[in-house]
Amino acid sequence: MRAQVATATQPLAHYAESFRGLQGSATTAPWFLRKLRQDGFVRFSDRGFPTLRDEDWRFTNVAAIAQTPFRLVPNGGRLPAPSDLAAYRIAEAAGEWVFIDGRFAPSLGSVRDLPKGVEVGSLANEIENNPGAIEPHLGRYLNIERDPFSALNTAFIDDGAYIHIPRGTVLRSPIHLLFISTAHNAPSVHHPRNLIVVGETSQATIIEQYVSLGRGEKVLCNTATELSVGDHSVVSHYMIEREEEGAFNISTLRIQQGRTADVASHSLLAGGALVRNNVHPVLAGEGGECLINGLFLGRHRQHLDNYMLVEHASPHCASRQFYNGILDGHAHGVFHGRIIVHKQAQKTDAKQTNRNLLLSDTAQIDTKPQLEIYADDVKCTHGATIGQIDEDALFYLRSRGIAEASARRLLLFAFASECLERMRAGPAQAYVENLIQQALGYVGEASRIQNHQESVP
């Protein structure tokens, strides 16, 4: 009934139809999954899509998503050729695990260097073959009450990545999850759902990369990842959005951190038409540390929204948010950094910094800190800057012989590379650096890698 009420105001009927199709066809799905989906769909139907009146969505209008009759991508489409993916592979990664419109496509990936006991594969397979490993985690962390897209994702849980890293395991090479949105001749949606469980005292780097193949009708990728990090583990997570400039991408990373766990979330938003990246760590164990490090590069009419919700739920935890944005053309960037310090989270140390460069008069940034502090012995700081290219620095470089266009790119790259400094050196960092250079039109010019090699022994 509720779904029908929502239909009156928003064209949600096709979601209801897709939902009935999914729940009806997959009668083999275990009860906990059917229940999760049902709760998700009810919640989504109650809420409908958010509007600008919703505090969490004040700066991001999703009418274009709400008004498009997206259909689930049908099963069994033609797979792309492996050569189509060559440009997106990361040679030094532990391997590629490829997802076509949210579905695991093992034939397109490869496994090169994975320690014993580490599982990387399909969530759907794991639910079917080992539901006992999934049930304690899936849907336990993601907040479907607050975010309609998370509710929608949960309603359509079908496939995505499942990673399990047992306790005491150190992964030297990053795990690369490659999510490919393919072109269709009708508006299509897919809802990848990822579950990453890292045991105690382990170490891993996980890259989620979102790309497009081909151009067709509108595509919405509504993805959600639950990342559970055990006590004393060290995890870096990368979100790389580089879909084509007509794509819609909504992503949520929900991190659950154990005691003294050290987690870094790095994001690079460079593609997509309307992109929203939610990062929601909960520092649940004492002494945890969380770094949320983001860079967004917008041009033309791109809309790139970074929404952070950092919850300090235990004492002696530290969180750092650093976001840099470079916006050109009519691009619109959003930084929404919310920090909640719960009553018991004494000695919290939370810091938030958002720096933006606007390269045109028509580019726009909305930056909003939001601190909610219920403990009394905490340190919370926030700051935001909005500026243009520093003309003095530009003149300084030019006065040394560096041509204006190169000098501009050098300054932009220097600004963007602040986020690289906060990543561990390694293949993921090198890959992101390369993408930044491409995005800034830097291809073929000297790179920061050389910059580093120049260090004096």
Q: Residues in the site for other proteins, rule: CB under 8 A?
A: 390, 392-393, 395-404, 406-407, 410-411, 413-415, 417-418, 446, 448, 450-456
Identify the three-state secondary structure at position 19.
helix
From CA 450, how far away is CA 214, in angstroms rounded?
34
Element counts in the chain: helices (H) and strands (E): 12, 22
Q: How far apart are CA 9 and CA 63, in angstroms?
A: 12
CB nearer to other proteins: pick between 64 and 446: 446
Q: Which is nearer to other proteins, 41 or 323 (CB)?
A: 323
Q: Which is nearer to other proteins, 3 or 410 (CB)?
A: 410
The residue among 143 and 406 lying less far from other proteins, judged by its C-beta, is 406
What is the Cα–Cα distance from 443 to 451, expressed in whole angstroms?
15
Q: How many CB atoms lie within 10 A of CB 31?
A: 9
Which CB atom, from 92 or from 445, has the smaller least distance to other proteins?
445
Nearer to other proteins, 274 or 416 (CB): 416
| Closest distance of CB 437 from other proteins, Å | 13
Nearest distance in Å: CB 450, other proteins: 7
Taking the complex as a whole, how short is the minimal distance between the CB of residue 449 and other proteins, in angstroms? 11
Of 28 and 453, nearer to other proteins (C-beta) is 453
Q: How far is the CB of 403 from other proteins (least distance, A)?
A: 5
What letter represents residue 303's amino acid? Answer: H
Nearer to other proteins, 162 or 296 (CB): 296
Q: How far is the CB of 431 from other proteins (least distance, A)?
A: 19
Q: Find out whether 121 and 161 touch, Cβ atoms under 8 Å.
A: yes
Smallest distance, other proteins to C-beta of residue 201, A: 34
174 within 8 A of 90, measured Cβ to Cβ? yes
Partner residues linked to 110 by β-bridges: 96
Q: Which residues contact 339 (CB under 8 A, 6 or more apart)?
A: 310, 312, 319, 321, 350, 352, 369, 370, 371, 372, 373, 380, 382
SS3 track for 154-196: HHCCCCCEEEEECCCCECCCCEEEEEEEECCCCCEEECCEEEE
Residue 375: Cβ-neighbour burial (10 angstroms; 0-12, 13-18, 19+): middle
Task: Transcribe 87-154 into DSSP letters.
Answer: GG--TTSSEEEEEETTEE-GGG-EE----TT-EEEEHHHHHHH-HHHHTTTTTTSS-TTT-HHHHHHH
Query: Nearest approach, Cβ of 414 to other proteins (angstroms)?
Result: 3
Q: What tokens appear for 263 in the block?
A: 């987690």
Give least dist CB 142 to other proteins, A.
Answer: 36
Nearer to other proteins, 358 or 420 (CB): 420
The nearest distance, CB 405 to other proteins, in angstroms, is: 10
Q: Which pair of structure tokens corresponds to residue 396?
A: 């300084």
